Structure formats: structure tokens, C-alpha cells
Structure 1
Amino acid sequence: MRKIVILGGLALAVFLGGCSTTGTAGHNADDVAFAQQMIPHHRQALDMAKLVPSRSTDPKVADLANRIEKAQDPEIRQMEGWLSAWGAGSGHESMHGDDMGRLEAAKGAEFDRLWLGSMIKHHQGAVEMAKTELAKGSDAGAKDLARRIIDAQQAEITEMQGLLARS
């Protein structure tokens, strides 16, 4: 009888351990890396989008920048929540580099062309990171976000290529 109680207690402990409410079960190092890299990547896109109202003359570019801000800010908060639940530190801020300096100095149609070209490259980088998450990650939520990033940003790349072609 004592053996059954001990085994039953052990089985209960294993079961309860698998029912963790912290959200840490099911993630791996690739999920952590995805969030740590995507957060500063999204922040850079937000910084780029915030330049548009004071520099662009194209309402379509302004609309796109607004949509990028509205989509990526909640994604940043979601990924920060995962990193906190996973006990992982946040990603490092990336340097903006020469592209950001050129954007800050430009206005009008020149700004729009530079912004669209820079954002296309930026989105392509995010799509590649998201594809890596799909291939190597294990967290269902992170993989779902990666799929949404690929779908949304690929559609925005196509839209931006169309805007560039008409300018």
C-alpha cells in the first residue's frame, strides 16, 4: 500500500509539473532568440514609421506607416511577455546606421523612395527571421506570430514595391 501511495504521489507531481501556468513549457532556445531579435527589429521599424508624418508627401506611404505602427507595437508587447514568462532577457537594441541618417535628412518624394526601399529590406529581414522560427522554434504562440509576420510583411513588401514602381 505504501508503494502505491508513493507512486501515486510521484505521478501527481509529474502531472502537476506539466501543467505549469507560467507559459514556459514548450519553448526552446530558438523561440527565445526569435523574440529577442524581433523586438529590436520591430522597434526600428516603429522608429522608421514615426519619421513619415513629418517627411512624406504621399498619403499612401503615411497610411502604410500607420498600419505598421499599429501592427508591430502589440507584437512587441506580446514577445516581451513571452520573454518574461520564459525567464529570458529582452533583445538588444540595434543600431540604426546610415539608412536611418539618410531617412532623417530627406523630405518629400526623395524620402518616400528611401523609406520604401529601406522598409522593404527591413521587412525582408523580418520574414527571414520568422521563417527560421517556423523551422526551428517549438512554441505554438511564437510560431503563430511568425506565420502572421510572414503573411503581413510579405503583403506589405508587395504593396511597397508597387508604390516604388509608380514613383
Structure 2
Amino acid sequence: MLSACGSRDEPANNVAAGHDMNAMADSGPFADSEMKMDQAMTAAVGVNAADSWVRKMIEHHKGAIDMSRILLAQNVTGHVADMAQQTIDKQGAEVTALEKLVATGNPDAASAAPYKPAAMAMHSAMMAASGADISDTWIRKMLEHHKGAIAMSDIALANGARGAVRAQIEKTKAEQQKEIDHIEGMLSGQQLASEPTAPAVAPAAKEKAPAAKPAPAKAAPVKPKPAEPKAPTPTCLPEHRAAGHC
């Protein structure tokens, strides 16, 4: 007689589904995008561990792009809007680079298995992340999103990634760490993501010093007049000398 009970995995799956339903209520407009990203990453399987990382990271980045577009559709402004647009631009460029690295061949399910714990942890952390408003919620979800990319990159590096794929993994990891440092710096400073960056105050213009008056031209030295030549001594004729005239 067959047992009426389900498989052993069913209770765990039901609990996970319950957590997701509860988290979706806190995720606002991002919930559907997060669920789709998780499903796409789970389905992404490559021919080896490195190729599985490439395929999963493509879906990972597409999820960030979609969530950033959702945020910008809410007409947010300030620094967080700039961050969302930069995410779209950077992750879009990286998706293009990753698509060139996709390997051909038969998918190997075992090659994707090492990434499952990290992907699940990222998904749970993202779904649970919420903030004071939509901007703050987005940035806290992106923090967990970037952490997930680093965890998956470490797994790929530990599983024999070589060549161009390894170079891309290292580049991705470095870029994601920069984003993490930036976000954690904002949060540790107790500045909400929704707060616009205060405009820089331009320094007061310095008063111009009065133009210096030109120095008076020096008078040309007066050249001494040449001495007038002395008149020649007249010659005294003998007859005048005799008369006592000279």
C-alpha cells in the first residue's frame, strides 16, 4: 500500500515558499523581478563550473538591470537615481562581455551544483531586505545582490576557471566589491539612499585686488650741454701794440 505522504523535500519546499510569500510583501515592486531572476539563475547550467558561472552571472546582472529600471520608473532623484542608471550601464556592458564567453556543448548539471547554496542565500537575503522607502529598499537589495556575485565568483575561482573566463570572474568580483564598499559606506554614515546628495557650495569668489598703478616713467637724464668754444684770442697787430691798443 502506497503512502499518502509526499516526498521528504516537500516540507522544506513549503517552508521556503512561505518565506518567499512573506518576503514578497516587503519587496514592493521588486518582488516579481527577484523571483524571475532566481528562477533564471537556477535554470542556467553550463558545460563546466566556469561556464555555469558565466550563464548564472548573465541572469544575475539582468536581474539588477530590471530592478534598477523599476526604481527609475518611480521618478526617484538624487544620488540613488544616478546609482541605478550606472547599474544599468555597467551591468549591461558586462552582460554583453559575458555572452561572448558562453561555451558550447552539453550542459552538465553537476557543474552548477556548487553555486546553489550561494544563490539561495543571496535570494533569501535580497527578498528580506527592505528600507524606509523604495530607494532605500533598492539599495539594500543591491547590497545583497553584489555580495551574492562575489560568493559565486569565489566558487568559480575555486573550481578551476581558467583563461578569459577567469579574467572576467576577477574583474566582476572587483567591480562588485567596489559597489559593496560604496553602499556600506553610505549606510554606515546613516545616510538613507533616498536622500539627495547636497550640492557642493561653490567657494566665494575672491575680491579682485585693485589694479596696480603703473609706475611713473623715469625722466630721461639731462645731458650736460657741451661747453661753448672759447673765442679765439685776436692777433694784435704791431702798430696797435705800439699805440697801446692791445
Q: C-alpha distance in 1, partners of 2:181/2:106? A: 35
| Deviations 1:87-113 (CA, angstroms, capped at 9, x unpaired) | 467x9xx9x99x67x99xx9xx60111
User: Which residue in 1 is equivalent to 2:64?
Assistant: 45
TM-score with structure 1 setting the length: 0.65
Show structure 2 runs of 5+ residues with no match. Answer: 1-46, 113-118, 193-246
Q: Judge conservation of contact 1:46–1:68 (CA < 8 Å) in 2.
A: yes
Count of aligned pairs between the two proteins: 130
- Verify: 1:166 aligned to 2:191, yes or no: yes
Q: 1:60 Cα shift?
A: 1.2
Which one-letter code corresponds to 1:66 in the other structure?
Q
Greater helix content: 1
Q: Secondary structure at the match of 1:77?
A: helix
Q: Judge conservation of contact 1:50–1:65 (CA < 8 Å) in 2.
A: yes
Matches within 5 A, 1:74-153: 74-83=93-102, 85-87=103-105, 110-153=133-176
Among 36, 48, 73, the alignment partner of 1:29 is 48
Structure showing greater relative contact order (alpha-carbon pairs closer than 8 Å, 6 or more residues apart): 1
Which one-letter code corresponds to 1:63 in the other structure?
D
| Deviations 1:105-130 (CA, angstroms, capped at 9, x unpaired) | x9xx6011100111101110011111
Q: Secondary structure at the match of 1:55?
A: coil
Q: C-alpha distance in 1, partners of 2:162/2:98? A: 12
User: Which residue in 1 is equivalent to 2:225?
Assistant: none
Q: 1:143 Cα shift?
A: 1.1
Which one-letter code corresponds to 1:32 in the other structure?
D
Q: 1:38 Cα shift?
A: 0.7
Gap change, CA 1:137 and 1:66, over 3 Å in 2: farther
TM-score with structure 2 setting the length: 0.46
Show structure 1 runs of 5+ residues with no match. Answer: 1-27
Report which of the two structures shows the higher radius of gyration computed on alpha carbons. 2
Q: C-alpha distance in 1, partners of 2:58/2:184? A: 25
RMSD: 3.0
Q: 1:78 Cα shift?
A: 2.1
Matches within 5 A, 1:7-26: none
Q: C-alpha distance in 2, partners of 1:88/1:76? A: 22
